[in-house]
Structures are given as structure tokens and as C-alpha cells.
Structure 1
Amino acid sequence: MIDRHLGSAAQTTGLGSRLRRNDGDHLVERVVALACLLILAIGCYLVMKPFLSALLWGIILTISTWPMHVRLTRALGGRTGASAALLTLAAFTVFLIPLVLLGHNLAENVAQIAAKLQEWRNSGVPYPPPWVETVPLLGSRFHAFWSDLAAGSVEAAATLEPYVQHARAWILGFGALIGSGVLQIFISLLIALFLYRDGQRAAVALSSVLERLAGRRGPHLLDVAAGTLKSVVYGIIGTNLTEAVLAAIGFWIAGVPGAILLGFLCFFLTLVPVGPILIWLPATIWLFTIGETGWAIFLIVWSVMVFSVIEALLRTFLVSRGSDLPMMMILLGLFGGLLTFGFIGLFLGPCLIALGYTLVMEWIGMEKERRSGKPAAHSEA
């Protein structure tokens, strides 16, 4: 009996040691598996890093225009591919063609400026017109400097040279920014094409992931995010882009040089109260000074219509409900996106900032609900 007890104890001890070894082996396997997954994730990130901004914009554009895709697919008899192709073609027209025209216009203006500078170097800078001296504040000093430059003053030329170099570097950098923006938007629209075609499965998978992460609030958060993106894409980006195009058309009709570039600047300044005045008022004054009074009056009427009447109508019809976002955050998203992601950040930055702000506000509402025990009112998507 003693031998049986000793044998049983020995078996138990052996089994325990084998279990401990198995637990240790399982722990090592988990660590190795996690390390492999981490290496794989890092590798995937490095591969996708050059296309990350284009991927994000493609996803945002697809989500915000998905209801249009659904309606168009029904109208085409369920042909998803045809609907995806048509929407992508429309996005090419809206986002890519103005950017290509901007780059072409910038190249033409740079060539004209270079030719004019070469002409001035050969024949000398012309003397300033008399009206320059009548400009308030800096008119007399600028007239004197311009006169010295026209007289061949070496000191005036040396003073101007650093500014010419800075302007040249800025123009070259802006041209490179536009070139990279064309490539990024092209890639994002190709991504959007495939997302339109296969997005239904991706939406189901995303909804399942959110349900696992956020529980029953997952679908609601997805609706909030989609509504926010739609509000920004239509109400902010769509409105500003439309006004920029209309402003450029007005400058072009009136004969103002660099019309497309001026329209591009209006894209930024539309977010600032009375900001577009900084563009069209100098253009109007220039038309008056060269004797084009009729075109100057036309530009005033056109600008008032575009930046007052049309803006009010667009924001009324394009801004979705539940989009009360601080305009300062949208403006910061616009410039921050440009600095972080390049040209495509003009569209991507405001969307990300608005999405983050809305989800934080939603989380605050959830916290208030949890603490008070009362259901909070959900924002409309």
C-alpha cells in the first residue's frame, strides 16, 4: 500500500511538472506569435505609409457619398460596377481637374514672370506710374524705391534680390506640392473605385468590429461618424470648392491675371469672415486703375453674389443636420492637414478634426448618461 501511495505521488508530481512545462511552452508560443504579429503590423504600416493619406481620403469620400452610390446602383438596375465608375469619374471632375488646371496656370504664370524679369534685366525696370505714390501709408516709400530700381540703383537691386529668391523658392515648392497632390488624389480616387465596388462587405466587417469594441453603441457611433463626414465633405469642402471655382471663373471673365490661383486662395479664405475680400477687392482696384471700370463693377457684383448669396444657399442645402462644429477647428484642420499630409490634407484635415471632435462629444454624452443613469439624447447622423 505504501508503494502504491508513493507511486501515485510520483505520478502526480510528474504530471504537475509536465503541466508547468506546457504552460511555459504556451507562454513562449504566445510571445513569439505576438512578436510575429507586431513585426507583420509594422511591415504593413511601412508598406502603406506612402499611401496612408490617399487611403484615408478614399475611405472618407466613399463613406460620405455612399447614399449616392446606393441610389445610383438602384437606378442602374443593380450594376454596382457601373455606379462605382460613374461616381469615380464625377470625383475626378470635381477634385482632380481643378488641381491640374491650377498647376497648368501656375506654370504659365511662372513662365510669364520669368520672361518679364529677363526683359527687365535687358532693358531696365520701367518707372512706376503716378498713382503708386497716392496709395495710402506706403505709397510714397514704394514709389521712391521703385524709382531707384528703375534708375539702376545697385543698392535697391541688392535689397530686392533676397525677396526674389524667397519668392522663387516658394513658387517651386508650391508647384511640387500641387504635383504630389495630383498623384495623391488620383490614388485616392482609384481606392474609392474599389471601395464603391466592394464596400458592402467592408461595411459589414466594420460594423461587426465596432459592435465588439463598443457594444450596442457600435452602430450608433458608425452613424454619427458617417453623418459627420458627410457634413464636412458637403458643407465645408463642397461649399468652399464651389465658391473657389466660381470665383476663379469671375476673375477669368474680368481678365484678372492668375484667375485660377486667386480662386484657390479663396478656397482658404472662405472659412474666414469677410476673408475673400482680401482677394477680390485688390483685383477690383487693379481693374479700376487700368481703366476697366465696367469689368471692375462686374467683379464687385459677381463677388457679392458668390460669397454672400450663393454661399448662404449652398450651406443651407449642403450642410447636414448635426454638424455644429467650431469653424476655428475646421480652419485649423485645413492648414494642419496641408502641413501634415500635403495637398490632400486640405480635404483630409477638416474631416479628421471634425470626426475626432464629434466622437469626443459623443463620448462625453455617454459618460454623462452612465453617471446619471438616464439615456442621453443621441445626435443625428
Structure 2
Amino acid sequence: MSQFPHSSTPHAVSVRSRTRFQSWAQGVLALGVALLALFILGRFRSALFWGGVLAIVCWPLLTWLRRKWPSPRAVALAPAAIVAGIALVFIIPFGLLVSAAAGEAREGAQWVRQAAEQGIPAPAWLDRLPWGRAQVQHWWQANLATADSVHELMTRLKPERSLAMVEQLGHGAANGLVIMGFALLILFFFLRAGTPLVARIDRLVWRLLGARGVMVQHHVVGAVRGALAGLVLVGLGEGVLIGLSYVIAGAPQPLLLGMFTALACMIPMVGGIALALCVALILVKGATLAAAIGVGVFGAIVLFLADHFIRPALIGGSIKLPFMWVLLGILGGLESCGLSGLFIGPAVMAVAHLLWRLGSGRAAQAAPDGVVAIRVTHHARAD
């Protein structure tokens, strides 16, 4: 009996080490299978990503619908209603806008062809310039008034690159519609899974990362919802308001210019460049100088209010993320990951800011005495 504990100790240590090894092996296997599954998905990874983003954004709406509609049929009908609503609100109008924009693009191509054959006549507002009138008229006559000057300008601009870009955008739009269709299908199954799926995700996060993981999950969800509201919805709102000013000012192809402005306004600081280009096009097409100035001033006010007040509050307000972190996350994510980076960037920066606050807050481990002494000495010398 006295030798039983001694003889059982190696067996217990062996079982414990084998269990630890199995845990690591299972973790490696799970990670490998997950990476392999993502690799096999190919370009449909984008559909899975956008389906997940839409599920995060639409989850509060699904919760509200199920609370107002407690019928057992709501388990399938509520997700179907959300998916149908997204299709009606975004995809169908997007298709109509693309069709209308294609018509305006044909008109724009006809205008470009006419300008190449006959030149661009000087607009009437050139004669009413308060200063620099002679210099501007001379530049216009030398660069835009004749067919040869317009042809030379187009040669320098290399329109074949623009045409290739337009063709690439057309293929990208068709591929985007296919991906969005699959994303809506994935969204339906995510929402139909409902609370059990969310409970499984919460349980997995808790098992892997503990309480800190739950905090990270909360910040990621808040960043995704804030990014959608602050980037997409605010950008569309800016595009609609500025597009109305294009219509009032008599701009050429106002729908096409409005879509271009809305897409540019989804990215901070890029909307101003799009607005300047559209104002320059309005001037070239012969609109009045007052109308172009009015469009520019109105658009600048809309961009200033949206980019400095509404957008930071929507993106960083729910997770207390400073505007500089938001801006760097958006621009860096867009450059690194493309369009999906508009959501990945703020989410990553939200997690980074959370870890920074947890690591540098009062509850963190105190700094060593040597570090404190160096800081005190440094401040004393500075004083």
C-alpha cells in the first residue's frame, strides 16, 4: 500500500502529458482544417465574408422581428424577409442605377466623340471672370477649342487605359453581383440558424480566449456595425445630397456623377477629390460659374459635417475608438484588403485599441521601479 502512490505517479504524469499533447494536436488539426476550408472556398470567401458582415449588421433587426413576430414560422420567414428587403433596397435599385448610368455613359461617350471632332467651345462664364480672363481664354483656345488640341490632349491622357479600366469595372460589377447573390444566400442560413449559432460562437470564444476574448468579440461586432453605418450609409447620404445639387446646377449626366461621388464619399477624404472633379466637369460643359461655385460650396459643407461629426460618431462612438484610429484603420484596410478592408481595418484597430487600453490601464501590472525612476528623473530635468 505504501508503494501505490509512488507507482501511480509516472502513469498519471504520462496521461497528463498525453492529454496535453492531444490538446495541442487537436488545435493544430482544427486550425489546419479551417485554413484548408478557406482555401477551397476560393473567390467565394468574399461571399462568406460579406454574408458574415451582413449577419452582424442585421442581427438586431432579426431580434426585433422575432420579438414582434413570435410565430414558429418566423424562424424561416423573418430571415427571408430581411434578405428580400436587402435585395429590394440595394440590389434592384443598384441594377436600375447601373442601367441608367450606362445610358448616360453612352451620352458622355458621344459628347467626347463630338469634342474630338469639333473641339470644345469656350463657355460663356469665361467672359465674366473678374481676373485672369485673358490667360484662361488663351489656355482654352490653345488646349480645348479645336479638334487638333482636343485630340492631342486625349493622346496625352491615353484614353485606351480609361476604356480598359471601364471594361474591368464592368466585369468587376458582374462578378460583384454574383458574389452578392451568394452572400445573401449565406446571410439567410446564418440568420435562420439564429440564437443557437450565436451561442456556439460565444461558447467557442469563451473556451479559446476567456473573458478577454468576449470583450474582443464585442468590439469587433461594434466596429463592423459602425463601419457599415459610418462608411456605406453616410457615403450614400452624401452622394444623394450632392447629386441633388448636380441636378439643380444642370450638370451633365447627374446620375452618373452622383454615383461616382457616393462611391468616393464612402472613403474619408476621397469624396473631396471626386467633388472637385465633378465641379471641373460642370465648368467644362458650360454651366454658369455661379452654379459650379454653389455646387462646390454645398458639397464642401456636406463633406465637412459628415466626415468630422457624423462619421466618427457612428464608427467609433459605440466602442469609444478615437477618430485617428478609425481613419488609419479605414485607409490601411482599404489599401491592404481592398473593399473588404473598409470593415476589416476598423475591426482590427478596435481590437488593437482595446488591447492598448487593457495593457496600459490602471488595472495593468505596475511598471518596474527602474522605469518609474527614469521617468521621474526625466521630468525633473525637463523642469
Q: TM-score, normalised by structure 1?
A: 0.70
Q: 2:61 aligns with which of 34, 51, 68?
A: 68
**Residue 140 of structure 2 is aligned to residue 145 of structure 1:** no
> 5+ unaligned residues in a row in structure 1: which ranges?
1-19, 21-25, 374-381
Q: Deviations over 1:16-57 (max 9, x none)?
A: xxxx9xxxxx9xx99999998777545422221311122122
Determine if contact 2:83/2:184 at 8 Å carries over to the other structure. Answer: yes
More displaced stretch, 320-329 vs 359-368: 320-329
TM superposition shift of 1:198: 0.8
Q: 1:358 aligns with which of 350, 353, 361?
A: 350
Please list, as runs of the form range in 1=range in 2, the aligned pairs for 1:197-346 lying within 5 A after superposition. Answer: 197-252=192-247, 254-267=249-262, 268-269=264-265, 271-272=268-269, 275=272, 277-278=275-276, 281-282=279-280, 285=283, 289-290=286-287, 303=299, 306-307=302-303, 318=314, 321-325=317-321, 327=323, 330=326, 345=339
Identity %: 22
Determine if contact 1:329/1:353 at 8 Å carries over to the other structure. Answer: no
CA distance in 1, matches of 2:353, 2:27: 34
TM superposition shift of 1:258: 3.0
Q: Deviations over 1:40-81 (max 9, x none)?
A: 545422221311122122212211331121011111224132
Determine if contact 1:247/1:263 at 8 Å carries over to the other structure. Answer: yes
More displaced stretch, 29-38 vs 163-172: 29-38
CA distance in 2, matches of 1:285, 1:117: 15
- Provide the alpha-carbon RMSD of the alignment: 4.4
**Structure 2 residue aligned with 1:112:** 107
Asked which structure has the greater CA Rg, the reply is: 1
Determine if contact 1:54/1:188 at 8 Å carries over to the other structure. Answer: yes
| Higher RCO (Cα < 8 Å, 6 or more apart) | 1
Q: Deviations over 1:280-319 (max 9, x none)?
A: 64466568x44597x7698579747855678889659855
* Cα distance change on mapping 1:322 and 1:58 into 2, 3 Å: same
1:354 partner letter:
P
**Structure 1 residue aligned with 2:39:** 46
Determine if contact 2:261/2:275 at 8 Å carries over to the other structure. Answer: no
> 5+ unaligned residues in a row in structure 2: which ranges?
1-13, 368-383
Determine if contact 1:330/1:350 at 8 Å carries over to the other structure. Answer: no
CA distance in 2, matches of 1:74, 1:212: 30
2:61 partner letter:
M
- SS for the counterpart of 2:365 is helix
Determine if contact 1:284/1:299 at 8 Å carries over to the other structure. Answer: no
* Cα distance change on mapping 1:257 and 1:330 into 2, 3 Å: farther
Aligned positions, number? 339
